[in-house]
A and B are shown apart, each in its own frame.
Chain A
Amino acid sequence: MASHEHTDPPSDPALRVKALESLLIEKGLIDPKALDEIIDTYENKIGPRNGAAVVARAWVDADYKQRLLDDATAAIAELGFSGVQGEDMVVVENSPEVHNIVVCTLCSCYPWPTLGLPPVWYKAAPYRSRAVADPRGVLDEFGVPLPDDVEIRVWDSNAELRYLVLPERPEGTDGMSEDELAAMVTRDSMIGTAVVHAP
């Protein structure tokens, strides 16, 4: 931008966050050790492998899948995944007739316990604006061209409710173990911008 109002802070975010962090630490409002723990958790411990474990379990265990579709929050917690930004979960199932995709048009709502932090494109204006207006075009851009007779359902997440897509299990995977199945499940297939392919 060409100009700032006089109340705007300087534009260098690295300097700004450093100043904010030191001031809050100096005043005892945040604990520096807690900051490192938060970063380690979300950078190294929580991510789409969690969601992949949920999907693989649903593929091999019909009872679990039913529980997942009936009460996703509880079924996901059975595998040990719960907490911030996953307090109220809904799982939507893909089929040959229906393909689901998830967006947050207003912000960046996303199921952290099962997918980790969202990628930049999920939080940026192009995806948020177009996923609801032209989902077929968006899917095409992600390399998922869908036949015209497949219904696309777009789920707009919000601050309370988060969605996870249960992708279709690919053909030819009958003999695979739960771990092998989980390894095929990608982050994007659980957002709905990809499908799962057998290796």
Chain B
Amino acid sequence: MNGVHDLGGMHGMGPINPEANEPVFHDDWERRVFAVTIATFGAGNYNVDEFRHGIERMGAANYLSTSYYEHWLHMVETLMIENGSISRDELNAEQAKLAKEAA
């Protein structure tokens, strides 16, 4: 599939900027996304091809403007909704509840 994820040879992406002594995770939410992904993947909710396709189906502008673990988060939300494990309404309600608690 030819999409924005197929980055090989594309121009204009800027400098590489490697970070010295980079930590494994930069924020706690990245840890949580990683763990939730590995746990749901490990339990057989989706395979590696569905995993990648879940990311490759992101809108091009959204893909390029979000970080790696945001790609994973988008993918787990998408696949767990599509396979019927959770619904978008349930997820929205949970997010609203947490946002209200945090306010």
Chain A residue contacts of B16, Cβ below 8 A: 121, 124, 126-127, 130, 138, 141-142
Query: Would you call A123 and B49 a contact (CB within 8 A)?
Result: no
B47 to chain A, nearest CB (A): 10
Query: Would you call B8 and A38 a contact (CB within 8 A)?
Result: no
Q: In the bound complex, what is the Cα–Cα distance between A132 and B45 (angstroms)?
A: 34
Query: Would you call B52 and A22 a contact (CB within 8 A)?
Result: no
Q: How large is the interface on A (under 10, 10 to 19, 20 to 34, 35 or more residues)?
A: 35 or more
Total inter-chain residue pairs, C-beta < 8 Å:
166
Query: Would you call B19 and A15 a contact (CB within 8 A)?
Result: no
A130 to chain B, nearest CB (A): 7
Given contacts A9-B95, A38-B34, contact A128 B40 (CB under 8 A): no
Stretch touching chain B among A29-37, A58-66, A74-82, A174-182:
A29-37
A131 to chain B, nearest CB (A): 8
Given contacts A23-B90, A105-B6, A108-B68, contact A29 B24 (CB under 8 A): no
Query: Would you call B68 and A124 a contact (CB within 8 A)?
Result: yes
Given contacts A126-B17, A141-B15, contact A29 B35 (CB under 8 A): no
Q: In the bound complex, what is the Cα–Cα distance between A94 and B17 (angstroms)?
A: 24
Q: Does A183 contact B (CB under 8 A)?
A: no
Q: Does A198 contact B (CB under 8 A)?
A: no
Chain B residue contacts of A125, Cβ below 8 A: 7, 10, 13-14, 64
Instruction: Report, nearest first, the 3 A-B pairs whose CB atoms are least far apart.
Output: A105-B8, A14-B29, A35-B35
Interface string of B63-100 (1 = CB under 8 A from A): 01101111001101100100001101011101101110
Chain B residue contacts of A106, Cβ below 8 A: 5-8, 52
